[in-house]
Structure 1
Amino acid sequence: MKTYEVEEDRCIPPELESALTAICASVGLDSRGARLIRFVNNGVFLLRSQPVIVRIVLSPSFTYRAFNAVEAARWMAVHDVPAVRLLPGLEQPVQVGEHLATLWQYEPEIGPVPSGRDLGSLLRRMHSMPPTPTFLDWQPMADLRRRLDDAVEIDPADQHFLEQRCDYLEERLDSLRFPLPQSVIHADAHLGNVIGGADGPLLCDLDSLCVGPPEWDLTPIAVGRLRMGHPPDWHDELACAYGFDITGWEGFPVLRELRELKITTGVLPILRSNPGVRDQLHRRLRTIREGDLVTQWAPYS
């Protein structure tokens, strides 16, 4: 599901609804009738009375990402990279008590549905831009371990397995020699994070932007084909537009394992507040444990 796609009404947990009300009130916005459109790493709302997206951090392990998203959005705007823009006129991120949020201009999906070719072109453009020295370095294992530290209601055996898996992947990752020069990367580059805007495709969900290997931005689409059953054309078009096929590189199996672990562990800190993700989490953990590279996964709801 796209980050800003509005589907059926979702039930809003009382604590999250309270946080939204407080955050909106602090900046003069009306939260009544807001729709919860995403509930994994952030609680993402579309306000009813204003074209505004509110992204509320759900876990302490994700707090730094709100600050990172603000700096990333400003960098994107300076370099004219097509992307969502922050809601102007506010000091961001917005903090009210223990709650932290970022607010964005809503971009309705009224343009053509983005393709792998669109994502490849956006990534080439972004990767060619000069980084700012204040951007974070790519540290995927630190991010994974933060999620494990904040995990709630997880079976101790699963916790132990995931800790061992992190150690194993860290060793394999350290041995890789990336062929492409480092650049600013999106770090979660899949078509769910591209909006078909009126003036063309836009990147969204900028929380993870950092300096790292471009190969990592080419991995999600490839893994989506292999693990989520996404159309092969998405990857083929991306590889053609970008000029590099990640699946032909000898280091891809390591990045595939890393990507699969990342998209599996993202829900660990919110298992109590969003129990509907448990069945899919257990399915994913089982296939990773068994070394099963064929079983298909479904998106977290």
Structure 2
Amino acid sequence: MSVTTIGPSGGLTRDNLHFLLGALCAETGLDPTGAELIKFTNNAVFRLRTAPVVVRIAGSTAARDRASLVVRVARWLQGHDFPAVRLLPGFEQPFLLHGQMITLWKEVPCTGRRPDGADLAVLLRRLHRLPGAPDELPPWRPMREVRQRLDEPEELGAADHAFLLRECDEVEERLAGLRFALPPGVIHGDAFLGNVIAGPRGPVLCDFDGTGVGPREWDLAPVAVGRLRLDYATDDHAMLAEHYGVDVTEWEGFPVLRRLRELKLVTSVLPILRSNPSIRAQWEHRMRTFRARDLTTRWQPYR
């Protein structure tokens, strides 16, 4: 097979994703037959039909830059027997194929009950107490990832692009003025129920792209923002606040974290807006209401 580099911006079409999956399986001896694309947003995730394996392809420069960190975090968590997804053993990871970063994971069967805010609180409390974090864990720099995505948007109009850049500047300035109440430390970085899997032995945590050292309030913000903005059927925030012992919405800096979280929810899919047209209508809805500073209109998860 000739070596072809798939460009980092706008390159992850569905055809290219299947090409990458085939190339990976050819190298590892896995079988891509019948593989299911179960997620295609800031990362693309395949579930193999022929083996209990999940393939994760980084979907942006930000995600590619953090692939090696994700591997180190996963190994650190495994060393502490923390309930999290596990890398597929027997391979040096991450894989660099055709310019893309790919990782292999052991599939966690979703056989348990739906995880809730209480489950996430237990996981976060345990994570926040873990000793001996990897020295390479980066400090929390949330705007870096947002700006990286703004550097490689697909089909983003000039006016929207300029607005989002201004928004980055404003949110960054407000973040610099916050006085956090909780002690800083290791954070997951994207702690919402979509990153908790209902495993047969209990809930497990996944997706460590945002893991680093920063304010613990940030790990409590996604579920709180989800209650306020996304059209979820259950109030997981109340359970999270009760079982973690902190209600982040009562902290004076929460409106800034909410704005940051919503900015990330708007910009997370910019590198694949053209490649995955099924998300376009929801993105336009989010962008329109976010730009209008409409805090009440509900959003739907990207499908």
TM-score w.r.t. length of structure 1: 0.94
2:238 corresponds in structure 1 to 236
Q: Does the 8 Å contact 1:195/1:203 carry over to 2? A: yes
Q: State the AA in 1 paired with 2:75.
A: R
1:292 corresponds in structure 2 to 294
2:149 corresponds in structure 1 to 147
Q: State the AA in 2 paired with 1:77.
A: Q
- Residue 109 of structure 1 pairs with residue 119 of structure 2: no
Work out the CA distance in 1 between the residues paired with 2:210 and 2:25. Answer: 24
1:92 corresponds in structure 2 to 93
Q: Does the 8 Å contact 1:117/1:241 carry over to 2? A: yes
Work out the CA distance in 2 between the residues paired with 1:232 and 1:106. Answer: 26
Work out the CA distance in 2 between the residues paired with 1:68 and 1:180. Answer: 25
Q: Does the 8 Å contact 1:111/1:196 carry over to 2? A: yes
Work out the CA distance in 2 between the residues paired with 1:132 and 1:15. Answer: 34
Q: What is the CA distance between 1:217 and its match in structure 2?
A: 0.6
Mean CA deviation greater in 133-142 or 157-166? 133-142
Gaps of 5+ in 1: 1-11
2:124 corresponds in structure 1 to 123
Work out the CA distance in 1 between the residues paired with 2:297 and 2:109. Answer: 34
Q: Which of 248, 251, 254 in structure 1 is aligned with 2:253?
A: 251
Q: State the AA in 2 paired with 1:208.
A: G
1:227 corresponds in structure 2 to 229
- Listed one character per residue, the Cα deviations across residues 236-267 of structure 1 (whole Å, up to 9, x for unaligned) are 11011111000100000000000001011011
Q: Which of 266, 275, 281 in structure 2 is aligned with 1:279?
A: 281
Mean CA deviation greater in 232-241 or 187-196? 232-241
Q: What is the CA distance between 1:232 and its match in structure 2?
A: 5.3
Q: Does the 8 Å contact 1:61/1:150 carry over to 2? A: no
Q: How do 1:153-232 and structure 2 match up within 5 A?
A: 153-231=155-233
Q: State the AA in 2 paired with 1:241.
A: H
1:66 corresponds in structure 2 to 67
1:55 corresponds in structure 2 to 56
What is the alpha-carbon root mean square deviation over aligned residues? 1.2
Secondary structure of 1:218's partner?
helix
Mean CA deviation greater in 244-253 or 281-290? 281-290
Q: Does the 8 Å contact 1:152/1:271 carry over to 2? A: yes
4+ residue segments displaced more than 4 Å: none
Q: Does the 8 Å contact 1:31/1:47 carry over to 2? A: yes
Q: In structure 2, do the counterparts of structure 1 residues 295 and 96 end up closer, same or farther at CA, with 3 Å as the change threshold?
A: same
Q: Does the 8 Å contact 1:68/1:208 carry over to 2? A: no
Q: State the AA in 2 paired with 1:101.
A: I
Gaps of 5+ in 2: 1-12
Q: What is the CA distance between 1:296 and its match in structure 2?
A: 0.4
Secondary structure of 2:227's partner?
helix
Q: State the AA in 2 paired with 1:157.
A: A
1:9 corresponds in structure 2 to none
Work out the CA distance in 2 between the residues paired with 1:189 and 1:34. Answer: 27
Secondary structure of 1:298's partner?
coil
Secondary structure of 1:45's partner?
strand
Q: What is the CA distance between 1:76 and its match in structure 2?
A: 0.8
Work out the CA distance in 2 between the residues paired with 1:167 and 1:220. Answer: 21
Work out the CA distance in 2 between the residues paired with 1:80 and 1:248. Answer: 33
TM-score w.r.t. length of structure 2: 0.93
Secondary structure of 1:260's partner?
helix
Secondary structure of 1:110's partner?
coil
Aligned residues: 290
Among all aligned residue pairs of Structure 1 and Structure 2, give the percentage whose two residues are the same amino acid. Answer: 54
